[in-house]
Amino acid sequence: MKVVITGRKVTIRPSFTERAEKKFKRLDKFFGEDAVCLITVSQLNREQRVEATVRYNGMIYRAEATEPDAMDALDKLDDILVRQLRKHKTKLERRLRQSAFEPVQGEEEIAEEGLYDVIRRKSIPVGPMDVEEAILQMNMLGHQFFLFRNADSGEINVVYRRRDGGYGLLEPTAE
């Protein structure tokens, strides 16, 4: 696994880099050599926030931890990721097919000029998966919604978390 560490408003010590590489080396049993782990360390008042995003075959795993010391936050973050991976490992093995891991190529970014100021633009791979797989991926990312290509219909759909704790599905229709 390749580990990339970035510091925002904080200087990364070599001891932190060594410890992070050692900690995330044990995640190799879940991922292959081509996995990339992006670690971001940032200063929040008197605390350090450490965020990790692991990308592997189109899947994204994300966790964050905030502690007074960056080393403590790294330890907590590693535990969170391992616990998350173990929790979802059986679900992933059961539900995900190899085609869900392959990113869609040839997607073009559409730029529209409007009255609204777009602060951030993000490109994401939209792979075919069923609704349960999309909900699982959304929960692993900790997001409120998730965009995916429905394996059954081939259409772009969105799943989202409802306030009552349930999930919703948005499907396009012709007018």
What is the pTM for the complete model shown? 0.57
Convert the pLDDT of each residue in 82-95 to its tens digit.
Answer: 887 777 666 666 66
- Distance CA(147)–CA(161), nearest Å, equals 12
- Contact by Cβ (8 Å): 38, 6: yes
What digits encode the pLDDT tens for the residues 96-155? 554 455 554 544 444 444 566 788 888 878 889 899 988 988 888 888 999 999 998 889
Whether the predicted pLDDT of 74 surpasses 80: yes
| CATH code given to domain 96-103+122-175 | 3.30.505.50
pLDDT confidence tier of residue 157, bands split at 50, 70 and 90: very high
Q: Estimate the crossing angle of helix 70-95 against helix 14-25, to 10 degrees.
A: 20
Residues 28-37 as b/e (b if ≥16 CB within 10 A, e otherwise) read eebbeeebeb
Specify the CATH superfamily of domain 2-89. Answer: Ribosome hibernation promotion factor-like (3.30.160.100)
Q: Where in the chain is the domain with CATH 3.30.160.100?
A: 2-89
Q: Name the segment(s) of the chain with CATH classification 3.30.505.50.
A: 96-103+122-175
